[in-house]
Structures are given as structure tokens and as C-alpha cells.
Structure 1
Amino acid sequence: MEEKFIVYYAGDRKGPFTIKELKQFKIQRYDLIWQENTSTWIEAHKVEALKSLFDDFLPAPRKENLPEVDKRAMYSNSNVGNIEFLSNRTVKIYYPNYIVHYRYASFIERLLARIIDIFIIIIPAAIIPILPAWLYFSLMHCSTDQQTLGQKVFNIKLESADGKKVTFGQSTGRFFANILNALTFLIGYLMFFFNSKNQCLHDMLADTIVVSEIGREKR
């Protein structure tokens, strides 16, 4: 039986496809592929059975065939990453020993996570305004996991858009920038639906993205 493959494309899973169907689908080398008997997503050009679909010997592929990538400077320690924003609405962040693939978190995931977080801090916030909420969100977002308890439930996390670890100053700025969403009659939240990185106004001001891991590979 001919092997089939799942493609992660435009924020959703497509397929399964045969190799012939993938060729008609015009799969690109950086699209993420899920094979049978595997436990992670992998770039198409790294799948042995699909290498014939790509010409690795061309000195430079045509520009229009390349994914849209925003590459940042290389790093020298675990606090600094090299990030790529791909045209299939996924993100790659390079760490010292592995590469993690992310998708952007959905609006529903973010909303439900925020509701959980509100229930967690509602009592202390009622006693002392602003301070408990500020410390909760800022400290959790700059922690090792870079996620609040609500975000942990939905397996989403905050990442800096430059691939580096989120800092306390950055998470603090994001928290107070969130107030602007209310001052703009929630238009700041609606901006989520009108940009390629699913960013609300406070994400854009803090230069952060909210993502969910979909796979990783060793370097």
C-alpha cells in the first residue's frame, strides 16, 4: 500500500496525500509533514521519500518559491533564539540543541486561557488592585515555561517575536499595554483577526506572539 502523508498548511492539517498528490498540491520544501509511525512533524525536504520532489542541487531557488521568512541574528546561549516566520503560518525557533515548530494560538484558546487566569487572580485582585494581576502575568510569562496556568491548560505560551526568551520588562510592558485594548473599545483585541501573526494590540506593542508547539527536532 502506498504511503500517505499529512501536511500542516495554512493553520490546519491537510490530507492524507500520496506522493503524486503532494506534487499536484505543490508542496514546498519547508512545509511540515506527518508520516505514519512518527511522533513529530518534519520539514518536507527532510523526508526521505519526498526528496525527489525538491531539487537540492539548484544554487538558489526562485524567490517566489521560498517561504516568507524573517530570520534574526544567530545566538550563543539558551536565552537567545533564531526565529523563522513561515508562509504556512507556522514558526520555527532554533535552540542550542533542538528546533521547535509552533503554530499561532487561536483566539478561542487565548480567550479560554484568560478566563481561567482571571478566576485564579480574581480574589487577590479584588483586595489589591492591579498588583496581583501584574505580578501573576509578568512573572509567569518571563518564567522558564513562559506561560500562565490558564495557557498551560491549552498548551499555548508566550514567545518574543525575536526568538529570545521573554524578559520581565517585556512581559510587564505587555500587561500594561493590555489596558489599551479596553481604552480602544476592544478594537485592540479585534486586531488579532487582521494580521498574519494573530497578534492583539498588546502583543504588537510588546513584540510578542502566542503559540502552541506542534513538533520538534534535534539539531
Structure 2
Amino acid sequence: MHNHTEYTVVINGKPEGPYQLHELKELDIQAGTFLRKPGMDDYKEAHEFPELRELLGFSYQQTAPQYFASFDQRLLAMAIDLFFILLAYVLLVLIGFIFVEGQAARISVAFAGIPLIPLAKLIYGSVTEASVRQAGIGKRLMNIKVCSLNGDRITLANAFGRNIGKVISAAPFFFGYLYSFLNKKQQCFHDVMAKTLVTKERLI
């Protein structure tokens, strides 16, 4: 039984076709070649189509190079997470003010919990990255997630180790974070140590 679906193929940067499935064998289709079928909102790579993997012998690449999240995406995701954590802290302080009277006491309450913010971020980051979604709010908004080197979900222990390792990435002068510019997989030091990747869903 023949597959009569028509495919549009990006060749030398230009969409060409449509082609029938059997005609694709005559083209120089690589795993990373972009194709689209009718009804699809966007192009996908050849290795993402089960029928093309079968026809052309590709394997699905969960961690293909172009799916690594860039430094600015990761930085923005981190800023979003920190914003929500700080927002939650401010709300807790305001609730505390209901039970505390006097300006001096309220100032003490406001500053007393500040050391707990990094701890809250550590726990929040670790739990969300080890969850089914593999990401906190910031990463989910950026369509990026944390995974193993094989593209799989990481364990809670691995997530905690990764987030604790951010202390090493931050010192000295955030070199461990800037290291991602030198790394082909855009890994920071804490990713290398934890054997993790931060990937994105699609080209952005």
C-alpha cells in the first residue's frame, strides 16, 4: 500500500516539491533536512518522521546540535524563575506583616528570610527539572528543558547535583556559565559535571 502523502522539502534554503514518499529516495535527504506535510504548522527534520526513518535508515535524534538551548534563552528562563520566587517571597513577607507590628520588627521579618531565597531556588529548580515536564516556569515559557545526554528525564538526585554545581559555574567571574560559548553542546560547567543538556523543542 503506497503512501500518497506529499512532502515539501527545503533544498538549498528553498522549499521544493511536492514529492511523494517514494520520490524522496532520489533526493539527497539528510537527517537534518527540513520537510513538511499538508496540515503541519511548521517544518520538521527528516529524522522526526517515522516513515522517513524507516525509508532512509535515520534514527531519531533527541539531542541534535540545533536543539541545544542558547545562553540567552537559559538566562531569561533563570530570570523568570527568580522573579516568581521573589514574588512569592514578597507575598509571604506581606502576610507576615499581618501578624507583626512595629516598623523595626517588620524590617527584621522582611530581611530574615532573604538567605532562604537561594535554597528555595535550589529546591524549586531541582524538583521541576526532575519532573515530567523537565523544567520550571521559566524554561517552560522558553520551550527548553533539562535532560540527560541521551535526551531522557533526569533523576531528582541528578537534578540536585546539577543545581548545587551552579555554585562552581558562578565562580570565578561566572566562567562556568560563559564556558557554554566554548562548548559544542552549549553546556555550562554544572551541565558537564552532571552529564546533562538543556535542549529546546525547535529552531527559534
Gap regions ≥5 residues in structure 2: 1-6, 19-23, 90-112
How many Å apart are 1:33 and its aligned residue?
Answer: 2.2
Q: Residue 15 of structure 2 corresponds to which residue in structure 1? A: 16
TM-score by length of 2: 0.65
Post-superposition CA distance 1:175-219 (Å, at most 9, x none): 11101122131111111111221111111111111112239xxxx
Aligned residue type for 1:210:
V
In structure 2, which of residues 172, 175, 183 is the aligned counterpart of residue 195 of structure 1?
A: 183
How many Å apart are 1:112 and its aligned residue?
Answer: 0.8
Post-superposition CA distance 1:129-159 (Å, at most 9, x none): 5321111101111111010101111111111
Cα distance, 1:172–1:83 mapped onto 2, change above 3 Å: farther
Cα distance, 1:14–1:137 mapped onto 2, change above 3 Å: farther
Gap regions ≥5 residues in structure 1: 8-12, 57-66, 70-81, 91-102
Moved over 3 A (4+): 44-47, 82-86
Q: Residue 121 of structure 1 corresponds to which residue in structure 2? A: 85
Aligned residue type for 2:128:
M
Name the SS of the counterpart of 1:126 in structure 2: coil
Name the SS of the counterpart of 1:147 in structure 2: coil
Residues 157, 211 of structure 1: 8 Å contact kept: yes
Cα distance, 1:155–1:84 mapped onto 2, change above 3 Å: closer
- Name the one with the larger helix percent: 2
Name the SS of the counterpart of 2:35 in structure 1: strand
Q: Residue 161 of structure 2 corresponds to which residue in structure 1? A: 173
Q: Tell me whether 1:43 sits opposite 2:43 in the alignment.
A: no
Q: Tell me whether 1:144 sits opposite 2:148 in the alignment.
A: no
* Aligned pairs, number: 164
Q: Residue 172 of structure 2 corresponds to which residue in structure 1? A: 184
Q: Distance in 2 between matches of 1:15 and 1:184?
A: 46
Aligned residue type for 1:203:
D
| Higher mean C-alpha displacement, 160-169 vs 173-182 | 160-169
Q: Distance in 1 between matches of 2:149 and 2:164?
A: 18
Superposed CA RMSD in Å reads: 3.7
Q: Tell me whether 1:31 sits opposite 2:32 in the alignment.
A: yes
Q: Distance in 1 between matches of 2:84 and 2:160?
A: 19
Q: Distance in 2 between matches of 1:104 and 1:129?
A: 28
Name the SS of the counterpart of 1:130 in structure 2: helix
Query: What does 1:198-209 align with in structure 2 at a 5 Å threshold?
Result: 198-209=186-197
